[in-house]
Structure 1
Amino acid sequence: MSIPPQQPGPQQPNPYQQNPYAQQPPGPVPPSPYAQPPAPGQPPAFPPPGVPLGAPPAAKRPVPSWVWGLGGALVASAVWAGVLFANGTLGGGDEADLAGYRFRKDLCDAVTIDAFKERYEPRLGSEPNSHYASKEQALDANNCNWSLKDKNASASDYSSVFVNSTAQWHKKSDPKGEFASIYKGFEDRSGDTYAYTTKSVGGIGDEAFLIVEKRSPTGSKTSPKEFGGMTLGVRDGWFTFELQWSWYGSSTSGGTKAPSEQEVEKMIKSDARDALAALKKS
């Protein structure tokens, strides 16, 4: 029996021989539910055949020269601001408020301690004992010290009194933020032989604090502490002033006694007010 010859099957198209860009015969286009007939005298809603849908991409517009100039100015400003911050001339704050107090080379000319002199006299025969002055870029400061004795003290009385005054003109930074902490912090120094108490004082400068010091006359932890020192600190603007009184002796030595806290507070406030007034007049 003879086998009929195989019929050639349909030839499969070679995908590499197809032209992907060849135009295919147009088929029926389904109607668009959104298409509307054009109004009389108006162009059709779709572009004519052969014109692609969508507007052609707009040509890239050149950036105006003034935009580049503005950007350069902003960069330069940022660099300059960084330099000013680094130098401390920008953001460094305000101009120094010295509240009218003027620097004196010799502080002893302004701090005359007349109230203390009613009770005390110079011990070393010179008045005042020592002083110094310093003028720097950020801070001007001067100081005056006295070594005194009670006018009623006998030749054998070894008790001593020291009065110290310091004035500071802060020219680069405002001391307001830390002033109170400095004087309140003295209480943290209290120990077995020393005790400090701090209180606020009104009516002098922008703020003022009074420190009372009590200490053991023998240095023993068991000895009762006696009043032996007082410090008045004043801040007025960026100017600070301090007046300190210290007494060294013993209430059991038979010599002169230390004045009461109330007496010293009255004297130290009076002399501080006089000194501040004199520094404003100088």
Structure 2
Amino acid sequence: MITDPELDAEWDTAEPAEVAEPLAPRERAAAGTSRPWLWALGGVVAASAVWAGGLYALGDRPAAPTLSYRATENLCEDFKAQTLGGLAGDLHKKRPMNQESDHPAVYGAACVRNNVDGMPDFIVTARVDLHKKVDPSTEFEVPPLRAMADTGDVRREAVPDLGEDAVMIVSASGQLQELKVLDGAAVFTVEVWAGTYAEKNDRPATDATAVQAAMIEDMRELMVALKN
């Protein structure tokens, strides 16, 4: 978790601060010709030095989070989306899009599947982010930009018994649903965009509740597949 460092030692306030003696008139006049921003800058530099010293004493960064999941060479091979496929029609007819990014701070992988070759009406996206440097829990509660851009309030609901923390996020229109799971240093995401839940493109009619249940099931299978 990215937080302000906490200092174990309390500030020493045992000795009172020294009180400056009043300046003589000529001394006050001379002091008035100095640049006050230099004094302020000096205070900032001194405070920064103290803060940096504290960070150095504590260790300049928190310990790297523990990764319990492996990086995948091809997320589309690990994310089968079998349960969602039963609702969306065949999600394996069209070649999926697989992406990876191995940054020193975060390893990321994504897989995008949809149910038709032409204009899709049901798009499933899985994403895995393995954080190597910092705890991702601070940003976990941030809703996806796509859901926030939808008119109206984003609906959130906690999902029990899935990782350390899990939430289902639904856009105001209900077309976009995102399941996010936090487990240690890993963040898993399964997102479904549905143009309609009615019968279309050789897939049966469904509803948002059934889609959410399928997302949870496919998420469980993905996490098992990537577990170290």
- TM-score w.r.t. structure 2 length? 0.66
Please point out which of 160, 165, 169 is paired with 1:202. Answer: 160
User: 1:57-90, CA deviations, whole angstroms, 9 ceiling, x for partnerless residues?
Assistant: xxxxxxxxxxxxxxxxxxxxxx9x959958xx92
Task: Report what 2:18 is aligned to.
Answer: none
**Structure showing greater Rg:** 1
Amino acid across the alignment from 2:157 = K
Are the counterparts in 2 of residues 186 and 198 from structure 1 also a CA contact under 8 Å?
no
- What stretches of structure 1 move > 6 A for 4+ residues in a row? 184-187, 252-257
1:257/1:117 Cα in 2 relative to 1: closer, same or farther (>3 Å)? Answer: closer
Verify: 1:97 aligned to 2:66, yes or no. Answer: yes
Please point out which of 120, 126, 134 is paired with 1:173. Answer: 134
Number of residue pairs aligned between Structure 1 and Structure 2: 178
Alignment map for 1:183-198 (pairs within 5 Å): 183=143, 189-191=149-151, 195-198=153-156
Deviation, structure 1 residue 178: 2.3
User: 1:92-145, CA deviations, whole angstroms, 9 ceiling, x for partnerless residues?
Assistant: 1122212x100012111211111012232148x334x20111111111101100
RMSD: 3.5
| 5+ residue gaps, structure 1 | 1-78, 150-156, 216-226
- Bigger relative CO (Cα 8 Å, ≥ 6 apart): 2
Are the counterparts in 2 of residues 187 and 197 from structure 1 also a CA contact under 8 Å?
no
Q: Secondary structure at the match of 2:113?
A: strand
Task: Report what 2:112 is aligned to.
Answer: 145
Amino acid across the alignment from 1:111 = F
1:168/1:195 Cα in 2 relative to 1: closer, same or farther (>3 Å)? Answer: same
Please point out which of 205, 221, 238 is paired with 2:185. Answer: 238
| 5+ residue gaps, structure 2 | 1-48
Q: Which has the higher helix share?
A: 2
Of all paired residues, the percent bearing the same amino acid is 19
1:185/1:140 Cα in 2 relative to 1: closer, same or farther (>3 Å)? Answer: closer
Task: Report what 1:136 is aligned to.
Answer: 103
Structure 1 Cα separation of the partners of residues 175 and 143 of structure 2 = 17
Are the counterparts in 2 of residues 189 and 195 from structure 1 also a CA contact under 8 Å?
no
Task: Report what 1:164 is aligned to.
Answer: 125
Are the counterparts in 2 of residues 234 and 241 from structure 1 also a CA contact under 8 Å?
yes
Task: Report what 1:260 is aligned to.
Answer: 207
Q: Secondary structure at the match of 2:100?
A: strand
1:118/1:256 Cα in 2 relative to 1: closer, same or farther (>3 Å)? Answer: closer
Deviation, structure 1 residue 183: 2.8
Deviation, structure 1 residue 198: 0.9
Are the counterparts in 2 of residues 159 and 255 from structure 1 also a CA contact under 8 Å?
no
Structure 2 Cα separation of the partners of residues 237 and 163 of structure 1 = 24
Task: Report what 1:126 is aligned to.
Answer: 94
Are the counterparts in 2 of residues 207 and 235 from structure 1 also a CA contact under 8 Å?
yes
Q: Secondary structure at the match of 2:115?
A: strand
